[in-house]
């Protein structure tokens, strides 16, 4: 890419970039940025990604940090202070849970809250200073369809996802007039995973056409396209099946209330 003499370099910071959707975001952001900071806990995977980005002409730096720790958070907030202002922040550092709340070690549940909630809040705050001062910036908070599906074994996970949705919606109202756009991306199920949910018990997975199963590159491509559209919603659910699931789950909650 490379910025011109008159244009400030476009910068992005992506957490959870060592794998999955975070790595995919970094690769697809290459055409929109001049400089990308990738972070996570696994140096080797981050170094490999950084090399791929450099081969595409970008400046890329790796910051190894555990976002569930105070020291890891401080390192990243300082990175934003030194290398900002950012044009993009993608909060993707996340983990999932498996098992009933009472059977989990409290420390792992607290680490999930730190990672999903505290890290998102602190990094967003650190990035918003420069974004609001310049009157531009875009933030994606990766949440989950679980925000709408408070199922057993997902108590803390779905709770933190619901926080991310509401935090993003409310914050967007506060920062819209400062030129900042926020998206809360809710990745969901692929068609093959549907048989495990009770929410569409009347729909057999085998009857769901393959095109409803969304891949990571498609998800990221749709997320970035929506982020750059003025009329796109804050809470963004990609894939028709996932939207149906969310709608049904919300309706069930309302019907019970």
Interacting residues with ligand NAP (CB under 6 A): 16-22, 40-42, 66-68, 93-96, 115, 142, 144-145, 187-188
With 0-12 / 13-18 / 19 or more C-beta atoms within 10 angstroms meaning exposed / middle / buried, residue 123 is: buried
For residue 234, give the nearest of 179, 178, 188, 165 by alpha carbon: 165
175 contact partners, CB below 8 Å, separation of at least 6: 128, 131, 132, 182
The CB-of-240 to ligand NAP minimum distance in angstroms stands at 15
Q: Closest residue (Cβ) to ligand NAP?
A: 20
The CB-of-162 to ligand NAP minimum distance in angstroms stands at 12
Q: What is the CA radius of gyration of the chain?
A: 18
The CB-of-93 to ligand NAP minimum distance in angstroms stands at 4
By C-beta, is 28 or 132 nearer to ligand NAP?
28
By C-beta, is 2 or 217 nearer to ligand NAP?
217
Q: Please provide the size of the chain in residues.
A: 257
By C-beta, is 47 or 169 nearer to ligand NAP?
47
By C-beta, is 25 or 230 nearer to ligand NAP?
25
| Tokens matching residue 186 | 């809710």
Gap between the Cα atoms of 228 and 29, Å rounded: 12
For residues 12 and 29, the answer to whether their CB atoms sit within 8 Å is yes
Query: Across the strands, what pairs with 117?
Result: none
Helical packing angle, 119-134 and 155-175, nearest 10°: 10
Task: Locate the DSSP E strands across 4-126.
Answer: 11-14, 35-40, 59-64, 88-91
The CB-of-35 to ligand NAP minimum distance in angstroms stands at 20
The CB-of-253 to ligand NAP minimum distance in angstroms stands at 19
By C-beta, is 26 or 30 nearer to ligand NAP?
26
The CB-of-156 to ligand NAP minimum distance in angstroms stands at 12
| Tokens matching residue 31 | 């055409």
H or E stretch covering 141: strand 137-142
By C-beta, is 84 or 187 nearer to ligand NAP?
187
Gap between the Cα atoms of 25 and 2, Å rounded: 19
Peptide bond before residue 226 is cis, with ω within 30 degrees of 0:
no
The CB-of-189 to ligand NAP minimum distance in angstroms stands at 7
By C-beta, is 169 or 218 nearer to ligand NAP?
218
């Amino acid at each position: 890419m490379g910025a011109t003499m008159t244009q400030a370099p476009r910068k992005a910071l992506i957490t959870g970039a060592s794998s999955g959707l975070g790595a995919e975001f970094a690769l697809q952001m290459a055409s929109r940025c001049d400089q990308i900071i990738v972070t996570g806990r696994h140096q080797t995977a981050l170094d490999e990604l950084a090399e791929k980005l450099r081969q595409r002409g970008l400046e890329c730096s790796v910051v190894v940090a555990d976002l569930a720790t105070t020291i890891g958070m401080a390192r990243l907030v300082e990175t934003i202070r030194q290398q900002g202002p950012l044009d993009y922040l993608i909060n993707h550092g996340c983990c999932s849970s498996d098992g009933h709340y009472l059977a989990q070690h409290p420390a792992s549940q607290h680490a999930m809250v730190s990672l999903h909630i505290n890290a998102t809040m602190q990094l967003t705050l650190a990035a918003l200073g420069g974004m609001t001062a310049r009157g531009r910036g875009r933030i994606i908070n990766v949440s989950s369809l679980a925000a709408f599906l408070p199922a057993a074994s997902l108590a803390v996970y779905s709770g933190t996802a619901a926080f991310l949705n509401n935090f993003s919606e409310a914050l967007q109202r506060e920062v819209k007039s400062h030129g900042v756009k926020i998206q809360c991306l809710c990745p969901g199920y692929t068609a093959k995973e549907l048989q495990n949910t009770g929410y569409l018990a009347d729909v057999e997975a085998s009857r769901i056409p393959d095109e409803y199963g969304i891949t990571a590159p498609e998800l990221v491509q749709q997320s970035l396209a929506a982020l750059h559209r003025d009329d796109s919603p804050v809470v963004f659910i990609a894939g028709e099946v996932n939207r149906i699931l969310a709608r049904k789950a919300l309706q069930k909650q309302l019907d019970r209330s």
